A = this chain, B = another copy of it.
């Protein structure tokens, strides 16, 4: 069978582009406090600059292993974390840096973890795909698709039993909607009326395969919601205000005891799936259209239009840059973990003994 190189079945970049929706300008007047907006703006920048720094360090061969950046997808993490209570729970995937930082993980400890250093948030044991900071409600980044949706249910169930009003928010990708655990988790969340919010960041691709090629419905999360007695909720994942409104609503619903939600946030990653991936399976026009919908300049403009002085925004950016520089130094100066760390923390007694 001769290859027709112009056949989209052989080269997914030849498929028709899937373009972003235009910005909903009316969101400028949404009832969101300026504080919250500025905080979201700060987070957008932190996530962006930190991730770029991680990428630079990778190019310097200081980040071993793999990394999965959220460049372009920052609005989801920035907005959700801003709508959460400090004691709420976050569950994320390997693409969890943005969610970790948004919940307040120390940027230096996070970067040190990517560098495999002893001062990393996991002491170097977990690595890029497993960032966790329980003290900040960041209950983990999970690297095998599906499991953490079920685990998030458990945290929500626990909150329900303890009567704390905590909510669990669980992030995952479009590709994750096709794995069995997704189905089991959504069903259980509904029947137990759990305070959990499932957030699908639909960036149109699993690793290198377009999601629509492998999914029976056009909207991988939203079109599944009714199968669990839930409303389909779709939001522009590149607009922090849009995401914030939806997040606040879903989280408060959950907190009031009205059960779970499933939200599909439509977004796009600017780069490849992981550090090894140039992302060439995507139509160039699609990549460009989505880059033109970058949440950061858009939000910058909106804040200006809302009357924020340019200097305020520049100040935030500069402050973030300092934080990221300091984080970089912290990470680079961290020592490598050694033999004294290897056999530590398999068990709750701190050790690794499996026999006497």
Contacts and interface: CB of A to CB of B under 8 A. Distances in A.
26 contacts: A178-B183, A178-B184, A178-B187, A179-B183, A179-B184, A180-B180, A180-B181, A180-B182, A180-B183, A182-B183, A183-B183, A183-B184, A187-B215, A191-B213, A191-B214, A191-B215, A191-B216, A216-B228, A216-B229, A217-B226, A217-B227, A217-B228, A223-B226, A224-B227, A226-B226, A226-B227
Interface in A173-193: 178-184, 186-187, 190-191
Copies held by the complex: 2
A187 B177 CA distance: 10
Interface in A198-231: 213-217, 223-224, 226-230
Contacts of A187: 178, 214-216
B180 A184 contact: yes
A338 to B, nearest CB: 41
A218 to B, nearest CB: 9
Contacts of A224: 227
Interface centre among A183, A226, A229, A230, by most B CB within 10 Å?
A183
Contact of A216 (B186, B214, B217): B186
Contacts of A213: 191
Interface of A, secondary structure class, is helix
Given A180-B184, A217-B226, 5 more contacts: A179-B184, A182-B183, A186-B216, A187-B214, A216-B227
Contacts of A214: 187, 191
A15 to B, nearest CB: 15
A205 to B, nearest CB: 15
A232 B28 CA distance: 41
Contacts of A190: 216
Residue of A180, A216, A224 most packed against chain B (CB within 10 A): A216
Nearest to A259: B216
Contacts of A226: 217, 223, 226-227
A233 to B, nearest CB: 15
A228 B224 CA distance: 8
Contacts of A179: 180, 183-184
Contacts of A230: 216
